[in-house]
Each structure stands twice: as structure tokens, then as C-alpha cells.
């Protein structure tokens, strides 16, 4: 079924569970390839499908409207010929019967299933009863947080990863007093090492954020609403609001009992077909595919990955040549700066850095034990990012890269 004629003659029923980037882009890729079969999409949220990066950026911006950015317009849904069911949360999968059950008790049959349920924010246990404690994963989270931002308020952010950092940057634009608490000695040290993590820490401090590292949260103080955060070293931080940014977990709880291989996401082949389950695919944050560039499973939580997966899933369903997996790429916008990471720096060691956050440009390169580049971080230099991407894809030795790119001409 690799030809447009075959795609048009395909009458299979495709069910997509998840109405965010991976799910919506998969629908668009299928229709773009000429597929004319039935496509249904189940979305757990009641919101019309919206883009995810603006949640921690534009939706919190002081000068913005606070509204989510739509992925589709009404006319797009009609043009795509897709049945879109919102507020329909999947609770069970029976792969033998090829049926997904939603929380209203409805059963949804399929011939081909695409699981694009994303990931859910981790929460601090025992804080469910406290008002003022937030996660930031969806549009409702962003709307609640935005309503709490005002000059002079005190916010404590638990975790200095991308979500915590992006919230801190947005809150400072509202003149909120922000303290970030990070268990590691430096932000993102587990991915980028202490030296580069310290640079990113300075970015916070340059913009008036109080950064506390090497310390953990002991408990949140308050009866009905949070009033303070007690740290492991005994310090107590007054708090009008708390943002918990301690990572996310793949949204696979509804798949328990289905027999699908779930652990850190859904195990699948390079084609994104779920291992051992023909006709079932996973895409986006929830997918843990075998990555041809690394020879082992890799799960990535980022917008670009969700987009890339859509083309792979559509090609797999239509038995077309599957696109080569892209090099992992993530970005984060903080304080008017864009931090970009290419490849997987955590698989190597830092081999050189140039620049600093103070100068507005920074590049850090990482290499494996053989000296070959495996990843890089770039701040404020799009051209350098492209050079790093090419070098990592080309398995260039870091010494050659450094000589060719940085040697005086």
C-alpha cells in the first residue's frame, strides 16, 4: 500500500488516542499521504487541540492573552475528515478485540491504533489538598498559574529543569519574587554536567532568581493553602505559590492489563509499531522506540520528537518507506534566550566550551570515549547549532570539529 492509489483504497479504521501534537500531526500525515479510511481521535481534554510549547512560554507571558495556541481550526477538522471526540479519556485497551474503552463507558473499535497519550507531570505526594501548588503540563495548568502571577508575590519552584526554568523566567517578567530549589549541585547536571549546569544557573541569577542547589524539599507548609516550603537543611521559604517541576511520567496507566510492553513508555520498533503488537503504534512522549542512530531504545519528551514521529507512524501504517529518525533535538526559551540541545550529551563527556551566558553566546560539546561528538548545547548562535548538528550526524571527532570551527582563519 505504498502508492497514493493504494492509500486511497485503504478502508481501515484508524483510532488515535491523544489529541496533542503527535496525534494531530499523525492524522495530517496520513491524510497528506492520501489515506481515505476512517480516522477518529480521542482527546482527554475538553480543549480544542492546542500546541504545547506555549504552555510554559506564551500562555504565561505578561504581554500575552493567556490563551492556548490552536493546532487546528474547525475547518481543518472538516477538511481532514476526522472524527474528533474531546473530553474522552481512554481507560482500557483490549488489543485482542481491538477496542479502546473511554471513561464514559463507550467502546471504540479500530483496525489500526495509534497511542499518543503523552506524559503526565509528577506531583509531590501528600500535597493534593493544598491550594497554590501547581504543575505545568497542560493549558488548564497554565491558566491557573497565570491567575496567580502578580508583582511582589513569592513563588518557589521545585526543580530546575526546563519546565521550572521556563516558569521562573515567565514569573520574573511579572515581577514575581522567584526561588528555584534544585537537588543537584547545578541545574541539569545529570544531562549536561556541572560546568555547563553552573552556566545555566548563572542565567537565572542574572535575572534576579534565587537559586538554591544541593538541597531538597522536606515538606510544604500550610493547612488549606501552601504558605511555605521547608527544605532539607532546615530553611523555610515563604511561598504564595509553588510550582513542582520534577519531571514527567509516560501516560500508560490506562494500558495496564493490556499486555503491551510498558515500562518507561511503550516499547516499540524503529517503525514505532509496538513490539509484539502488529497494527498498534506509539508516538510522541509515550513512545520508547529502538533508535537506529543509537542501537537501543530512546524515549524523548519534546515537541520536535512528536512531530518527527507523526511522519514515521503514517509511513509505517501505509507501508511506505519509513523516514530515518532525526537526531534528538530540544530547545528551551528562558529570559529572552534560546537554549538548544542536539544529540544526547549525557552519553558523553564535556570536551570543550566556548563563550558564556553573560556574553549571550555559549557552545558546549560532548564526546564519547572514542572522541566522537555525541551532542552539544548552544545558546544564542543558530549557525553554530547547525554546525554541531552536522558534526554529530557525521560522527566527527571533537578535535577536528574544534579545529575546523574555532581555529583562527
pLDDT digits (tens, 9 = 90+) for 361-401: 999 999 999 999 999 999 998 899 999 999 999 999 999 99
DSSP 124: -
CATH number assigned to the domain with residue range 336-406, chosen from the 4 options 1.50.10.10, 3.90.1200.10, 3.40.50.970, 3.30.390.30: 3.30.390.30
Q: How far apart are the C-alpha atoms of 117 and 121, rounded to whole Å?
A: 13
Q: How far apart are the C-alpha atoms of 73 and 349, rounded to whole Å?
A: 45
Average pLDDT of the residues in 17-31? 97
For 408, half-sphere exposure in the C-beta direction (CA atoms, 13 angstrom radius) is 0
The CATH superfamily holding the domain 123-246 is: FAD/NAD(P)-binding domain (3.50.50.60)
**For residue 6, pLDDT beyond 80:** no
Per-residue confidence (pLDDT) for residue 8, from 0 to 100: 61
**Strand arrangement of the beta sheet that strand 107-109 belongs to:** 90-94, 99-102, 107-109
**For residue 199, pLDDT beyond 70:** yes
**For residue 2, pLDDT beyond 60:** no
Average pLDDT of the residues in 325-339? 91
pLDDT digits (tens, 9 = 90+) for 261-303: 998 999 999 999 999 999 999 999 999 998 877 888 989 888 8
Average pLDDT of the residues in 149-174? 97
Confidence of residue 248 (pLDDT cuts 50, 70, 90): very high
Average pLDDT of the residues in 332-340? 94
What are the grid coordinates assigned to 355, written together? 563563550
Per-residue confidence (pLDDT) for residue 294, from 0 to 100: 80
Give me the phi and psi of 367, to 5 degrees please. Answer: -135, 155
**Strand arrangement of the beta sheet that strand 38-43 belongs to:** 82-86, 38-43, 13-17, 112-115, 280-282
5 vs 407, which has greater pLDDT? 407
- Please, which residues bridge with residue 101 across strands? 92, 107
Q: How far apart are the C-alpha atoms of 79 and 76, rounded to whole Å?
A: 5
pLDDT above 70: percentage of residues in the chain: 97
Q: How far apart are the C-alpha atoms of 307 and 302, rounded to whole Å?
A: 9
If DSSP codes are grouped into helix, strand and coil, which group holds residue 294?
coil
Average pLDDT of the residues in 150-158? 98
What are the grid coordinates assigned to 115, written together? 497511542
Q: How far apart are the C-alpha atoms of 367 and 222, rounded to whole Å?
A: 47
Lowest-confidence pick of 54-58, 187-191, 199-203, 247-251: 54-58
Give me the phi and psi of 187, to 5 degrees please. Answer: -60, 135
Per-residue confidence (pLDDT) for residue 393, from 0 to 100: 92
> Burial letters for 299-337: b for 16+ Cβ neighbours within 10 Å, e otherwise?
bbbbbbbbbbbbbbbbbbbbebebeebbbbbbbbbbbeb
When the pLDDT of each residue in the chain is averaged and rounded to a whole number, the result is 94
Per-residue confidence (pLDDT) for residue 126, from 0 to 100: 86
Strands 287-291 and 38-43: unpaired
Q: Residue 58: count other Cβ atoms within 10 Å of its Cβ.
A: 19
Check: CB of residue 327 under 8 Å from CB of residue 352. no
Nearest residue to 273 (alpha-carbon basis) of 95, 45, 102: 95
Determine if the pTM surpasses 0.75. Answer: yes
**For residue 64, pLDDT beyond 90:** no
Q: How far apart are the C-alpha atoms of 376 and 349, rounded to whole Å?
A: 10
**For residue 26, pLDDT beyond 70:** yes
Q: How far is C-alpha 26 from the geometric centre of its chain's CA atoms?
A: 17
Q: Residue 72: count other Cβ atoms within 10 Å of its Cβ.
A: 18
pLDDT above 90: percentage of residues in the chain: 86
**Strand arrangement of the beta sheet that strand 361-367 belongs to:** 329-334, 337-343, 373-379, 361-367, 349-356
Domain boundaries, the chain: 4-120+249-317, 123-246, 336-406
**For residue 404, pLDDT beyond 70:** yes
**For residue 171, pLDDT beyond 90:** yes
Per-residue confidence (pLDDT) for residue 106, from 0 to 100: 97
**For residue 409, pLDDT beyond 80:** no
- Could you give the maximum distance between any two Cα atoms of the chain, in Å? 69
**For residue 328, pLDDT beyond 60:** yes
Check: CB of residue 194 under 8 Å from CB of residue 186. yes
Average pLDDT of the residues in 171-186? 97
Check: CB of residue 356 under 8 Å from CB of residue 199. yes
Average pLDDT of the residues in 165-186? 97
Q: How far apart are the C-alpha atoms of 209 and 178, rounded to whole Å?
A: 5
Average pLDDT of the residues in 107-120? 97
Per-residue confidence (pLDDT) for residue 360, from 0 to 100: 92
| Fold: same for 123-246 and 336-406 | no
Architecture of the domain whose range is 4-120+249-317? 3-Layer(bba) Sandwich (3.50)
Nearest residue to 309 (alpha-carbon basis) of 85, 77, 115, 72: 115
Amino acid at each position: 500500500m505504498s502508492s497514493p492509489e493504494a492509500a486511497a483504497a485503504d478502508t481501515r479504521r484508524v483510532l488515535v488516542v491523544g489529541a496533542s501534537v503527535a496525534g494531530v500531526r499523525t492524522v495530517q500525515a496520513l491524510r497528506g499521504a492520501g489515506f481515505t479510511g476512517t480516522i477518529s481521535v480521542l482527546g482527554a481534554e475538553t480543549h480544542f487541540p492546542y500546541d504545547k510549547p506555549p504552555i510554559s512560554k506564551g500562555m504565561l507571558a505578561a504581554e500575552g492573552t493567556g490563551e492556548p495556541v490552536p493546532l487546528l481550526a474547525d475547518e481543518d477538522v472538516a477538511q481532514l475528515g476526522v472524527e474528533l471526540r474531546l473530553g474522552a479519556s481512554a481507560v482500557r485497551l483490549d488489543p485482542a478485540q481491538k477496542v479502546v474503552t473511554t471513561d464514559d463507558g463507550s467502546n471504540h473499535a479500530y483496525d489500526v491504533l495509534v497511542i499518543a497519550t503523552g506524559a503526565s507531570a509528577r506531583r509531590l505526594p501528600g500535597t493534593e489538598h493544598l491550594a497554590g501548588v501547581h504543575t505545568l503540563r497542560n493549558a488548564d495548568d497554565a491558566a491557573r498559574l497565570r491567575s496567580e502571577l502578580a508583582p511582589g508575590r513569592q513563588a518557589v519552584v521545585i526543580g530546575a529543569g526546563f519546565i521550572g526554568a521556563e516558569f521562573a523566567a515567565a514569573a520574573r517578567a511579572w515581577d514575581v519574587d522567584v526561588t528555584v530549589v534544585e537537588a543537584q549541585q547545578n541545574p541539569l547536571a545529570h544531562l549536561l554536567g556541572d560546568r555547563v549546569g553552573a552556566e545555566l544557573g548563572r542565567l537565572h541569577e542574572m535575572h534576579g532568581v534565587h537559586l538554591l542547589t544541593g538541597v531538597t524539599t522536606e515538606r510544604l507548609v500550610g493547612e488549606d493553602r501552601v504558605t511555605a516550603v521547608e527544605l532539607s537543611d532546615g530553611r523555610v521559604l515563604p511561598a504564595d505559590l509553588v510550582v513542582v517541576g520534577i519531571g514527567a511520567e509516560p501516560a500508560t496507566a490506562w494500558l495496564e492489563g493490556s499486555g503491551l510492553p510498558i515500562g518507561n513508555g511503550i516499547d516499540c520498533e524503529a517503525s514505532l509499531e509496538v513490539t509484539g503488537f502488529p497494527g498498534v503504534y506509539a508516538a510522541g512522549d509515550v513512545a520508547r522506540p529502538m533508535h537506529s542512530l543509537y542501537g537501543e531504545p530512546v524515549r524523548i519528551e519534546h515537541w520536535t520528537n512528536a512531530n518527527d514521529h507523526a511522519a514515521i507512524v503514517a509511513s509505517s501504517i501505509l507501508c511506505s518507506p519509513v523516514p530515518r529518525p532525526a537526531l534528538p533535538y530540544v530547545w528551551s526559551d528562558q529570559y529572552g534566550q534560546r537554549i538548544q540541545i542536539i544529540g544526547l550529551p549525557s552519553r558523553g563527556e564535556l570536551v570543550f566550551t566556548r563563550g558564556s551566558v553573560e556574553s549571550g553566546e555559549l557552545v558546549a560539546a560532548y564526546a564519547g570515549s572514542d572522541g566522537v561528538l555525541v551532542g552539544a548545547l548552544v545558546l544564542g548562535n543558530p549557525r553554530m547549532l547547525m554546525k554541531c548538528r552536522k558534526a554529530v550526524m557525521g560522527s566527527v571527532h571533537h578535535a577536528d570539529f574544534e579545529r575546523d570551527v574555532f581555529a583562527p582563519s
